[in-house]
């Protein structure tokens, strides 16, 4: 029976994708066909899917998207880029460094990879081109850095992972072997993402340095100017305060991640209208249109992916996968290697949120069986899938950077491959050393 379900579910999904149907249609169509083949009531599938989009934590999704869209209109992202440029100073490949730092700053606000790429790329790609950087390289470093937007908290994929994983209890045999597992929560995932985000960013900075040194991309200035740094910090003080308010409120327990997203919206409106005075009514309408389009697209995927994932769980496919992997090896490092390489492959073809909803019910039981902390698993999964933003053929950041920079995707892909390599090395480091993810949550009492 299980083989029949797997063939129908995944076969139908791949067939519909090959026909060119949207991923939400492919997921929903395959799930519905399987339900009907199993003689189940299709209404149950719709009820499962409808319940999936009614959870309170999911309210943070449109709110963070709107906050990110408004921050560009409020002049917050421009000031963050200015700060990053002054901090880069005389470092070799200074504008590349500024791009990575700007994506780190903006990622701490937007929670989205493509949004981070777009906001930073609009400013940095033209600036790098004017300073003699190859257009393809400028686009590539921006596309690679944009993936940091889903690792640095607050992160939309972390919210989705939390929703997908909270309903999955550790298998009884895992509890019997390892005892009670550490709790999982969205705020804990947010805290755990900080150090891995810095590790991933550091890998990009190292590669940018070597490439820039070889290509002769010099720093922005001969030496650091503390006067210019101070001036940029003064101009961007309200931009810097934004992530501290958002994340500080979550970490201190003043408000939940969902409430923090609403705070971010009102803070951005206040700064844009009354402090920077750059936000116009038309900008707000455009941000609302962007939010509606992105949120609707994400919720459609979530809606159908939840039904798809529920079928996997009901037919014990996760348990079968776990038994197969554990039958191959009981070495946690080998299992992490298999999972990371598999997720890199998946990230090349599947959108991040859909991949999380489909694969978490399969992968998390495997890692529970190995005694892995679910928070650590979530961070590794999100870090790996962030690489998917810069790998073809799906690579959303590649297309965003191509649209901004005017360079072909093919040329950008060639220049982005070194960043894909160092990002993969960084992911293995994060996976093999759980303390990178779990040290900060433990220090903060999670």
pLDDT, tens only, 380-431: 999 999 998 888 767 778 888 888 788 888 899 899 999 999 999 999 999 9
Q: What pTM was estimated for this model as a whole?
A: 0.80
Residue 3 lies in a domain: no
The string of pLDDT tens digits covering residues 75-103 is 887 787 788 778 877 888 888 988 898 88
Residue 432 lies in a domain: yes
Residue 12 lies in a domain: no
Lowest mean pLDDT among 51-65, 289-303, 332-346, 366-380: 51-65
Count how many domains the chain has. Answer: 1
Residue 193 lies in a domain: yes
Q: Which of 114, 113, 118 is nearest to 151 (CA)?
A: 113
311: which 2 tokens?
A: 């079928």
Residues across the chain: 446
Residue 137 lies in a domain: yes
Report whether pLDDT(163) > 60.
Answer: yes
The string of pLDDT tens digits covering residues 205-231 is 999 999 999 988 887 776 777 888 888
Domain ranges, residue 343: 57-296+317-443
Residue 22 lies in a domain: no
Segment holding 211, helix H or strand E: helix 194-215
Q: How far is CA 157 from CA 153, 176, 290, 382, in A?
A: 10, 31, 18, 7
Rounded Cα–Cα distance for residues 165 and 178 (Å)? 19
Residue 425 pLDDT: 97
pLDDT class of 440 with cuts at 50, 70, 90 = very high
Residue 153 lies in a domain: yes
Residue 305 lies in a domain: no
Considering 154-158, 284-288, 437-441, the range whose residues carry the highest mean pLDDT is: 437-441
- Whether 383 contacts 151, CB under 8 Å: yes
Residue 145 pLDDT: 93
């Amino acid at each position: 029976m299980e083989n029949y379900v797997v063939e129908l579910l995944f076969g139908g999904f791949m067939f519909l994708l090959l026909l060119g149907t949207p991923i939400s249609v492919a997921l929903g169509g395959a799930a519905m066909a399987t339900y009907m083949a199993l003689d189940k009531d299709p209404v149950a599938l719709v009820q499962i899917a409808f319940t999936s989009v009614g959870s309170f934590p999911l309210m943070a999704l449109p709110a963070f998207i709107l906050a990110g869209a408004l921050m560009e209109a409020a002049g917050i992202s421009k000031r963050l880029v200015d700060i990053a440029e002054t901090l880069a100073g005389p470092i070799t490949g200074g504008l590349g460094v500024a791009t990575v730092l700007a994506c780190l700053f903006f990622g701490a606000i937007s929670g989205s990879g493509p949004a981070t790429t777009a906001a930073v790329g609009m400013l940095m790609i033209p600036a790098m081109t004017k300073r003699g950087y190859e257009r393809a390289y400028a686009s590539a470093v921006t596309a690679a850095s944009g993936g940091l937007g889903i690792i640095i908290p607050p992160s939309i994929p972390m919210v989705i992972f939390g929703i997908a994983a909270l309903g999955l209890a550790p298998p009884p045999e895992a509890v019997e072997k390892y005892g009670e597992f550490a709790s999982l929560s969205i705020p804990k995932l947010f805290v755990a993402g900080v150090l891995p985000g810095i590790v991933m960013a550091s890998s990009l900075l190292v590669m940018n340095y070597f490439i820039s040194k070889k290509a002769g991309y010099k720093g922005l200035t001969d030496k650091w100017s503390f006067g210019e740094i101070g001036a940029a910090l003064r101009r961007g003080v309200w931009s810097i305060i934004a992530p501290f308010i958002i994340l500080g409120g979550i970490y201190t327990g003043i408000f939940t991640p969902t409430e923090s997203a609403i705070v971010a919206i009102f803070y951005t409106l206040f700064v844009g209208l009354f402090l920077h005075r750059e936000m116009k009514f038309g900008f707000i309408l455009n941000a609302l249109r962007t939010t509606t389009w992105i949120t609707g697209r994400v919720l459609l995927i979530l809606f159908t992916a939840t039904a798809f994932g529920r079928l996997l769980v009901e037919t014990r496919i996760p348990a079968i996968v776990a038994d197969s992997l554990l039958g191959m090896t009981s070495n946690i490092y080998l299992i992490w290697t298999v999972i990371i390489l598999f997720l890199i492959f998946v990230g090349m073809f599947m959108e991040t949120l859909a991949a999380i909803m489909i694969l978490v019910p399969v992968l998390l039981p495997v890692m529970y069986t190995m005694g892995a902390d679910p928070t650590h698993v979530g961070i590794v999964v999100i870090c790996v899938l962030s690489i998917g933003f810069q790998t073809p053929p799906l690579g959303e950041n590649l297309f965003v950077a191509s649209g901004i920079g005017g360079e072909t995707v093919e040329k950008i892909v060639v220049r982005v491959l070194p960043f894909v390599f160092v990002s993969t090395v960084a992911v293995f480091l994060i996976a093999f050393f759980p303390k990178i993810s779990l040290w900060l949550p433990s220090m903060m009492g999670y």
